Amino acid sequence: MSQANFAYSSAANDAAGLPLTLSVFADRLHVEAVVREDAEAAGFRLVAGGPVAALLDDEARALGEVVLVDCPQADAAALAALTRIDLRAAHTGAHLIVSTSVAALDDVFGCLDQSNPQILVDPSRADRVIALGRVLGQVAPLRLRELSEEDRLVLLRLTEQVGQIAQRLEKLETPLRAVEASDREGAFRFESPRPAFAPAGEDASDRLVRAARPPLPDPRLIRRIIRQRQLRARFFDGDLFGDPAWDMLLDLTAARAEHSRVSVTSLCIASGVPPTTALRWIGQMTEAGLFERVEDDSDRRRAFITLTDRAADAMARYFAELGTNAARAV
């Protein structure tokens, strides 16, 4: 990627005194070099860096407003470093971006329960640039209130150009298979249907809440539906039917009926989309109150994903409404 792509925005950003500070910790030197190049081109100011183990060396060292950690292997030292930086990021308000591998995802996810980080799985260069752009998108509205009109235009143009360069990189490398949904508000609504008439003086929604919840469907039925949905990929491009939210809801509903636990890696596989995209969906649905993170009582380094009671209630009512037609639901 040419530095010229951000020549205007980087210079203008520095002049306005706006650059976000960034720390990069990576054991793979080629990854660190690429991240530094892209971050500097986008106008970030690098303030710290080094191998992942350096996060354990000096707690007093100042970190950037954004911290990017590349952790493809989940050995004990790396996990300890992630746990510490997760706590520090949560305490300081820093934006944490962690890249990892599918093999290490469960362990890495288990360490990151405080700072609400972006987790990237086997990311491309475009994925990392998009992650940095997402941080700019989160920070820009806060900073706009404090800036002059000229500085507002500078920051907005910087954010826009980061998005544009990410799109160009995305076309050059492996394209993302799912449409991003993180900027959509109210994407998920699970409400019991309100009856047309309710008794005088009684809120119909209150009456429904008090009603007994139907039992969850037979997990064998749900697993059959899941297999039917997956069968379509044998005959059509799987992207045509991409619906990660519903696929994950089905998988977690079956697991709840089976009294089994679902790891984040398993749920990413069930979603049918790349892990990084699946993690964004998991975050979105957690914020919507449909998924929740549950720590492993026997191993605090592990965590699982489960349906909330609200989501389980909605799924039970949905299958009860389908009745005998549920077996044909795809």
Q: Are 106 and 265 in contact (CB under 8 A)?
A: yes
Is 183 a domain residue?
no
Residues of the chain with pLDDT under 50: 1-17, 144, 147, 172-186, 192-200, 202, 208-210
Residues 136 and 19 in one domain: yes
In angstroms, the CA 165 to CA 161 distance is: 6
Average pLDDT, the chain: 78
| pTM over cut 0.85 | no
Is 163 a domain residue?
yes
In angstroms, the CA 49 to CA 70 distance is: 11
Residues 159 and 273 in one domain: no
- Domain extent for 281: 215-328
Q: Are 64 and 35 in contact (CB under 8 A)?
A: no
pLDDT digits (tens, 9 = 90+) for 255-288: 999 999 999 999 999 999 999 999 999 999 999 9
Residues 123 and 267 in one domain: no
Q: Are 64 and 20 in contact (CB under 8 A)?
A: yes
Query: What is the predicted pLDDT for the residue at 238?
Result: 73
Residues 253 and 307 in one domain: yes
Residues 139 and 246 in one domain: no
DSSP string, 63-96: PPSEEEEE--S--HHHHHHHHHHHHHHHHHT-EE
Residues 124 and 267 in one domain: no
Residues 163 and 225 in one domain: no
Query: What is the predicted pLDDT for the residue at 208?
Result: 47
Strand duo 66-70 + 45-50: pairing: unpaired
Residues 165 and 224 in one domain: no
Is 196 a domain residue?
no
pLDDT digits (tens, 9 = 90+) for 215-265: 898 999 999 999 988 888 888 887 777 789 999 999 999 999 999 999 999
DSSP 299: E
Helix axes 264-271, 244-258, angle to 10 degrees: 130
In angstroms, the CA 138 to CA 319 distance is: 38
Is 51 a domain residue?
yes
In angstroms, the CA 125 to CA 78 distance is: 22
Question: Of 138, 171, 204, which residue constitutes the final position of a domain?
Answer: 171
Q: Are 69 and 82 in contact (CB under 8 A)?
A: yes
In angstroms, the CA 288 to CA 290 distance is: 6
Residues 9 and 132 in one domain: yes
Residues 224 and 314 in one domain: yes
Residues 156 and 254 in one domain: no
Question: Of 141, 171, 201, which residue constitutes the final position of a domain?
Answer: 171
Query: What is the predicted pLDDT for the residue at 291?
Result: 96
Q: Are 139 and 20 in contact (CB under 8 A)?
A: yes
What is the count of structural domains for the chain? 2
Residues 126 and 228 in one domain: no
Query: What is the predicted pLDDT for the residue at 64?
Result: 87
Is 205 a domain residue?
no
